[in-house]
């Protein structure tokens, strides 16, 4: 039976990837900070087939030896985790950028040591879309790379870290004859499997409370009416499985079927859930348009849910978890 390791298994996207893998008959090695932390990882143990085929390993992206232990014996790895600083960030270069790059390097070196056949790295649309020199009239696709130097100058550390890590992973694969594929999702909404809130669901929850906090993920200033690219967490997990299982999958894949402005998203939420206090701030019109295509991943056989379905399921899960009154 094939063994696949998922890094950061307790996280939002990774949990759904674990669920998908277990559902398809794989044995899963999940890396987590603390396997005994029921609040962060208890939901994984309740997944169908988890008792027989899920093994949690105490591992840290910055601890190469622990990654080697988790990845040993695996034929594939889905690398989802990104080191997240605990508490307030005082030095983003040291606390966000450098750990993101070092963590991916450690994963790739552990994959090389374990003779892993295939690695799927979760990157981000932010590793694609922040490129001032990309022609405005040209649709962004997998050939468009975020300008890491520009991001560092403008202090978009998450964007820079994702772009550098993804590029390094692809180059490492070519150099060492490992099949490396990257997937670049956008803002991920949809039902949580875990009980702790992730960044994007905090943003959604904030919108219900009258606060616009899209600047939490380095898109831009929250006071601008910007394009928000969105993908359902379940569709994102399916994209990772397609990238892993399809022999023809190669290079990078953009994964974001929906894009709409902040105001339009708030209006859609109002139509679906009229009983909340939405932001009433006057948002400045942004001239920046996010013009990209997901044609490449669609050609792998990927499809996706409607945005309305994603939002309804997100809210239902939040209500179940007692996060919404």
E strands present in the chain: 3-7, 27-32, 54-58, 76-79, 118-122, 179-185, 187-189, 224-225, 227-232, 251-255, 258-261, 284-285
Kindly list the distances between the CA atom of residue 151 and the CA atoms of 38, 58, 126, 158, 238, in Å, as whole numbers in the listed order: 37, 33, 10, 9, 30
Answer yes or no: 39 catalytic. Answer: no
Tokens 């890094």 label which residue? 7
* SS3 annotation, 157-199: HHHHHHHHHHHHHHHHHHHHCCEEEEEEECEEECCCCCCCCCH
Phi then psi dihedrals of residue 227, to 5 deg: -70, 130
Estimate to the nearest angstrom the gap between the alpha carbon of 314 and the chain centroid.
16
Selected catalytic residue, list 39, 162, 174, 263: 162
For residue 140, give the DSSP letter. B
CB 28 within 8 A of CB 47: no
Catalytic residue annotation: 162
């Amino acid at each position: 039976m094939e063994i696949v390791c998922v890094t950061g298994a307790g996280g939002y996207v990774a949990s759904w990837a674990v669920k998908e893998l277990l559902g398809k008959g794989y044995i899963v090695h999940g890396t987590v900070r603390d396997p005994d932390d029921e609040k962060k990882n208890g939901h994984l143990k309740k997944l169908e087939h988890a008792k027989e085929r899920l093994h949690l390993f105490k591992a840290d992206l910055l601890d190469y030896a622990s990654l080697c232990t988790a990845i040993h014996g695996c034929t594939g790895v889905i690398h989802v985790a990104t080191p997240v600083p605990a508490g307030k960030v005082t030095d983003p270069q040291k606390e966000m950028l450098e750990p993101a790059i070092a963590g991916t390097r450690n994963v790739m070196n552990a994959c090389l040591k374990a003779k892993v056949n295939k690695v799927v790295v979760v990157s981000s649309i932010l590793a694609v879309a922040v490129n001032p020199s990309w022609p405005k009239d040209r649709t962004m696709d997998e050939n468009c790379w975020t300008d890491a130097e520009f991001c560092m100058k403008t202090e978009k550390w998450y964007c820079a870290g994702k772009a550098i890590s993804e590029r390094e992973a692809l180059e490492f694969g070519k150099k060492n004859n490992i099949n490396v594929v990257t997937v670049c999702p956008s803002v991920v909404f949809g039902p949580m499997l875990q009980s702790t809130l992730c960044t994007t669901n905090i943003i959604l929850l904030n919108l219900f409370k009258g606060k616009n906090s899209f600047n939490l993920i380095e898109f831009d200033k929250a006071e601008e009416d910007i394009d928000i690219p969105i993908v359902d967490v379940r569709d994102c997990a399916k994209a990772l499985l397609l990238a892993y299982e399809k022999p023809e999958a190669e290079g990078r894949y953009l994964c974001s079927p929906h894009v709409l402005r902040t105001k339009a998203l708030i209006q859609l939420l109002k139509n679906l859930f009229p009983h909340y206090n939405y932001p009433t701030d006057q948002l400045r019109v942004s001239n920046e348009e996010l013009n990209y295509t997901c044609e490449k991943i669609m050609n792998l056989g990927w499809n996706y849910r409607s945005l309305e379905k994603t939002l309804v399921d997100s809210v239902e899960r939040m209500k179940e978890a007692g996060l919404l009154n």
